[in-house]
Structure 1
Amino acid sequence: MTDATDPYADVVPDTKDWTWAASEPCPDCGFVPADLDPLRVGDAVRATLPRWRAVLSRPDVRRRPAPSVWSPLEYGAHVRDVFGVFDQRLALMLAVDGAQFANWDQDDAALSGRYDRLDPDRVAVELVDEGLTVAGRFDTVKTAHLDRVGLRSNGSQFTVRSIGRYFVHDVVHHLHDVGA
């Protein structure tokens, strides 16, 4: 039974392991990680920002396509937060080889952040600001940094090279999710 007071009661948490997206083409959104120069991640992020602004200005930005699927606004808020999380993770990897990342529960973030109630104009501004920040951080990556390692709380290992590709896939995939 659905709890009418909890807009996330019908949303099925995404428990899939998406780490393959750092090295394999995505059959859904078409992202090909090998096509992304790991020293151009910042440019790739900046290229998505106008598309996200357009998504967040849609008149139906709050409408979910189904009760179990986030609205464009919720996806936008998620991507805004993804930008912040990956900025922190990259900063840690650049400072500490073998860095360990704190766990981030995207579903808990959506519920506690009440993504469904946010102002889309504010989310658009914050998303662009966070996007420019993480893009700038990726702009500092040098060839010598690409093999530095970071570990997720579940033990998944990334290099600076692979985390950039994984991260950009997430942002691009969610544009696909909202039809942009």
Structure 2
Amino acid sequence: MSNFERCEIKSCGFEWDAVQSSEVGRRILESSRAIATLISTHTRSSVRPAPDVWSPVEYAGHVRDVLFNIRDRLVVAINEENPLCKGLFGTPRIELGLYKDDAPSVVAHELTVAADLFTRTWDRISMPLRDRTMIYGYPRLADRSLHWVAAQALHEVEHHLSDVRDGLVGS
């Protein structure tokens, strides 16, 4: 297995090639709902556990935006031949304070909407179309199938669910 098939964070260990197309939507919905529940039920979900660690709400906002962004990338890749899609610029969004004053309940709702929309879109993409490719920039610039890209969306949700849980330890 290459370094690019498994998440480089040891505690994550996500393997893109191990994900079945049929499980992407269900797992995204489950993990997104878990994040939404966590941030809306903990009073300190907007607080950063350390200055250089995102708050649980910032992670949830990032996951929301990832789902919207990747959903749009899937549609582009269905309609264009092997497109190079723009990046999300996740860290700059945080650094610019774009999520700073977001209420946990609002982000929780938006995240569940994003997960629902992503899943409905993914479930409607036929198996032959899932073999189409796009040029994807993570973890390195490469041609990726739409199946791999959907697995990447799942990775983001599950990986950051762990970050949200870690950020709420002791709160």
Instruction: Answer yes or no: same fold by TM over 0.5.
Output: yes
* 1:113 Cα deviation from its structure 2 partner: 5.3
Question: Residues 161 and 37 (structure 1 numbering): CA distance in 2 closer, same or farther, change over 3 Å?
Answer: same
Q: Note the alpha carbon deviations across 1:12-48, whole angstroms, 9 max, x for none.
A: xxxxxxx92xx32662224333432123322221111
Please state if 1:168 is matched with 2:151: no
Task: For 1:156 and 1:32, locate their aligned partners in 2 and report how far apart those are by CA, in whole Å.
Answer: 17
Matches within 5 A, 1:112-151: 112=96, 114-151=98-135
Task: For 1:89 and 1:62, locate their aligned partners in 2 and report how far apart those are by CA, in whole Å.
Answer: 29
Partner of 1:24: 6
Matches within 5 A, 1:98-113: 98-112=82-96
Please state if 1:86 is matched with 2:70: yes
| Deviation larger for 39-48 or 146-155 | 146-155
Please state if 1:39 is matched with 2:22: yes
Task: For 1:151 and 1:94, locate their aligned partners in 2 and report how far apart those are by CA, in whole Å.
Answer: 13
What TM-score, normalized by structure 1, do the two folds share?
0.79
| Deviation larger for 144-153 or 123-132 | 144-153
Task: For 1:30 and 1:152, locate their aligned partners in 2 and report how far apart those are by CA, in whole Å.
Answer: 20
User: Number of matched residues?
Assistant: 160
Matches within 5 A, 1:8-19: none
Write the letter of the residue equivalent to 1:24. R
- Kept after mapping to 2: 8 A contact 1:146/1:161: yes
- The structure whose residues are more often helix, as a share, is 2
Identity %: 25
Partner of 1:70: 54
Please state if 1:55 is matched with 2:38: yes
**SS of residue in 1 equivalent to 2:148:** helix
- Kept after mapping to 1: 8 A contact 2:48/2:55: yes
Runs of 4+ in structure 1 off by over 6 angstroms are none
Partner of 2:80: 96
